[in-house]
């Protein structure tokens, strides 16, 4: 995605993109086939039931199709055509829900669901493939001699993906082993709320990444004010979530779950503070990636994940899910600190009062209002408190006409002028 965004405006960029597309496409198909072969061999060697081996064999086609679809989706994202990939994914979900529902209705069971998945994946892959053709890109014949270079370049991204997955799941696995199903359920109830809100950050950062990468290639001097503006918006969204959930946790948990999940309340009050840190860490990680420093990102994630694993191993068996909640926040804090140190030249001189201090003050005052309205029904309380927060942001000069213009330009796909970006 990054390389496509960089190459789009360069001489011979179109041809280089098509060759890269062909190389990555063939590599992913070959690697998916190797992965499938290893899984089937492992299933056979460990005497898995025939029904499981058959299911793995059926899903093998899905892995190959995902290799094609994933490559095409990345290319579309590099061309900033997220509208095409989003439409394809909506079609995929609708197809699976309809066909999967019919499979269950007619009693087709496990294999029926796998068949529904394969049909949906095939449709998704086909749509993405023709969308790539629609923007005028077709894969040129790749060269096997390029594959070792591409594989070496992919290692930091593999480390990032693996270690992030480990840090996100390790605490839950450890809780289940040492503390049982109940504490695991309480913790996951709170933790899943964090990841539900993190979708907002992921959507924004995914949309910004190719645009900022392209901007870095053609006008890098304009990036610091744009970074400041984007970082400010992420904090504007994340801080009220953390403050509001902390204040209203006693109402949120039984509202979303049941009274049986009341022990999850203290975990939610703690782990919800990972939300602003996750918003920031994901964005800063993308900023480092834009600069081509993925090895530094991999090292930072390795350090934070190593700390997470070590302290969870030490504390979770003794203290339980509250220790896991604290460690989730600490892990994100360590990651943000590392990114902040890496990016200190780019962020030197930014108006942190406007980016962080004033939104945090507005969120704190909003929390006081929410606490004062504690006896008001939850949804009404959230609405009134949110309105107070927006008013405070305007009074404190955090948002104004320039922000509406920025959102308008973002929707139009226009680059943000340097003078506008400098206002935040």
Task: State the residue range of the domain holding 21.
Answer: 2-142
Q: How far apart are CA 187 and CA 197, in angstroms?
A: 16
Q: Determine, yes or no, domain membership for 126.
A: yes
User: CA angle at residue 31 from 29 to 32, to 5 degrees?
Assistant: 65
Domain end call among 85, 112, 142: 142
Handedness of CA 33, 34, 38, 44 (dihedral sign): positive
Let me know if residue 151 belongs to a domain: no
The rounded distance, in Å, linking the Cα atoms of 150 and 330 is 34
What whole-number distance in Å separates Cα of residue 341 and Cα of residue 257?
Answer: 40
Pair (26, 62) in one structural domain: yes
CA atoms within 13 A on the CB side of 83: 5
Q: List the one residue out of 333, 336, 339 whose CA is nearest residue 288.
A: 339
Decide if 23 is inside a domain.
Answer: yes
Is 148 a member of any domain?
Answer: no
What is the DSSP track for 201-219? HHHHHHHHHHHHHHHHHH-
Tokens representing 336?
A: 């943000």
Residue of 310, 276, 308 lying closest to 168 (CA atoms): 308
Assess if residue 152 is contained within a domain: no
Predicted structure pTM score: 0.83
Tokens of 232: 């400010």
Length of the chain in terms of residues written = 424
List, in order, residues 6 or more apart from 87 with CB less than 8 Å away. Answer: 127
- Residue found by looking up tokens 């499979």 in the block: 103
The neighbour count for residue 10, using CB atoms within 10 Å, is 12
Asked whether 421 and 377 are in contact (CB, 8 A), the reply is: no
Both 40 and 179 in one domain: the answer is no
Nearest residue to 280 via CA among 352, 230, 326, 325: 230
Q: For the chain, what is the largest distance between any 2 Cα atoms, rounded to a whole number of angstroms?
A: 68
Q: Looking at the structure, tell me whether residues 279 and 393 fall in a common domain.
A: yes
52 and 201 together in one domain: no
Nearest CA among 175, 190, 185, 323 for reference residue 250 = 190
pLDDT in tens, the chain (424 residues): 889 988 888 888 889 999 999 999 999 999 999 998 998 999 899 888 888 888 888 888 888 899 999 999 999 999 988 888 888 989 999 999 999 999 999 988 888 989 999 999 999 999 999 999 999 898 887 778 888 999 999 999 999 999 988 888 889 999 999 988 899 999 999 999 988 888 888 888 888 888 888 888 888 888 888 888 889 999 999 999 999 999 999 999 999 988 889 999 999 999 999 999 999 999 999 999 998 889 999 999 999 999 999 999 999 999 999 999 999 999 999 999 999 999 988 888 788 888 999 999 999 999 999 999 999 999 999 999 999 999 999 999 888 777 666 666 655 544 444 434 433 3
Domain final position from 97, 113, 142 = 142
Which of these, 83, 84, 154, 179, lies nearest to 126 by C-alpha position? Answer: 84
């Amino acid at each position: 995605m990054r390389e496509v965004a960089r190459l789009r405006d360069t001489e011979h960029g179109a041809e280089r993109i098509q060759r890269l597309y062909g190389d990555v496409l063939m590599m992913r198909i070959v690697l998916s086939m190797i992965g499938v072969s290893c899984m089937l061999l492992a299933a056979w060697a460990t005497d898995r039931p025939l029904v499981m081996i058959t299911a793995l064999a059926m899903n093998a086609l899905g892995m190959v199709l995902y290799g094609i679809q994933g490559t095409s989706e990345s290319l579309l994202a590099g061309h900033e055509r997220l509208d095409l990939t989003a439409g394809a994914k909506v079609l995929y979900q609708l197809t699976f829900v309809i066909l999967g529902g019919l499979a269950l209705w007619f009693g087709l069971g496990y294999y029926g669901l796998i068949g529904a998945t394969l049909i949906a994946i095939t449709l998704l892959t086909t749509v993405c493939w023709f969308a790539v053709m629609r923007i005028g890109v077709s894969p040129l014949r790749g060269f096997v001699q390029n594959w070792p270079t591409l594989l070496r370049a992919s290692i930091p991204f593999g480390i990032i993906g693996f270690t992030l997955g480990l840090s996100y799941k390790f605490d839950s696995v450890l809780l289940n082993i040492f503390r049982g199903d109940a504490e695991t359920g309480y913790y996951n109830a709170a933790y899943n709320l964090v990841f539900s809100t993190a979708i907002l950050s992921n959507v924004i950062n995914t949309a910004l990444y190719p645009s900022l990468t392209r901007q870095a290639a053609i006008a890098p001097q304009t990036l610091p004010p744009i970074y400041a503006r984007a970082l400010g918006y992420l904090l504007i969204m994340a801080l009220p979530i953390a403050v509001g959930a902390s204040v209203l946790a006693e109402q949120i948990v039984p509202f979303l779950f049941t009274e049986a999940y009341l022990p999850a309340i203290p975990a939610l009050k703690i782990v919800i503070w990972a939300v602003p840190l996750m918003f920031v860490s994901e964005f800063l990680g993308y900023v480092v990636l834009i600069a081509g420093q993925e090895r530094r990102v991999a090292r930072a994630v390795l350090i934070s994940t190593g700390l997470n694993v070590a302290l969870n191993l030490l504390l979770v068996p003794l203290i339980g899910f509250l220790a896991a909640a604290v460690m989730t926040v600490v892990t994100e804090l360590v990651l943000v600190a590392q990114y902040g140190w890496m990016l200190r030249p780019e962020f030197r001189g930014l108006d942190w009062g406007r980016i962080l201090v004033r939104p945090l003050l507005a969120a704190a005052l909003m929390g006081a209002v929410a606490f004062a309205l504690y006896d008001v029904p939850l949804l009404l309380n959230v609405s009134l408190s949110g309105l107070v927060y927006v008013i405070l942001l305007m009074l404190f000069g955090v948002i104004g006409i320039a922000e509406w213009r920025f959102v308008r330009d973002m929707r139009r796909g226009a680059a943000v002028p340097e003078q506008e970006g400098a206002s935040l």
